[in-house]
Amino acid sequence: MSPTNRVREGQVFIISAPSGSGKTTLVKELISSLPDLQLSVSYTTRKPRPGEREGVDYFFLTEEEFEEKRMEGELVEWAEVSGHYYGTSYQRLNRYLQQGKDVLLLIDVQGALQMKEKLSRVVSIFVLPPSWKALKQRLEERGTDTIEEIQRRLELARREVDYWSHYDYIVINETLTEAVERLRSIIIAERSRQKEMKEVIQWIIDDFRLRQG
Confidence band, pLDDT 50/70/90 cuts, at residue 44 = very high
In angstroms, rounded to a whole number, what is the distance separating the alpha carbons of residues 168 and 171? 10
- The pTM score is 0.84
Confidence band, pLDDT 50/70/90 cuts, at residue 9 = confident
What average pLDDT does this structure show over 44-60?
A: 92
- Between 5 and 45, the more confident residue is 45
Q: Residue 127 contacts by C-beta under 8 Å, 6 or more apart in sequence? A: 15, 16, 17, 21, 22, 23, 26, 170, 171, 172, 173, 179
The correct CATH number of 7-40+102-210 out of 3.40.50.12240, 3.40.50.720, 3.40.50.300, 3.40.640.10 is 3.40.50.300
Query: Are the beta carbons of 198 and 154 closer than 8 angstroms?
Result: no
Helices (H), the chain: 23-33, 63-71, 90-98, 109-118, 132-142, 147-160, 176-191, 194-210
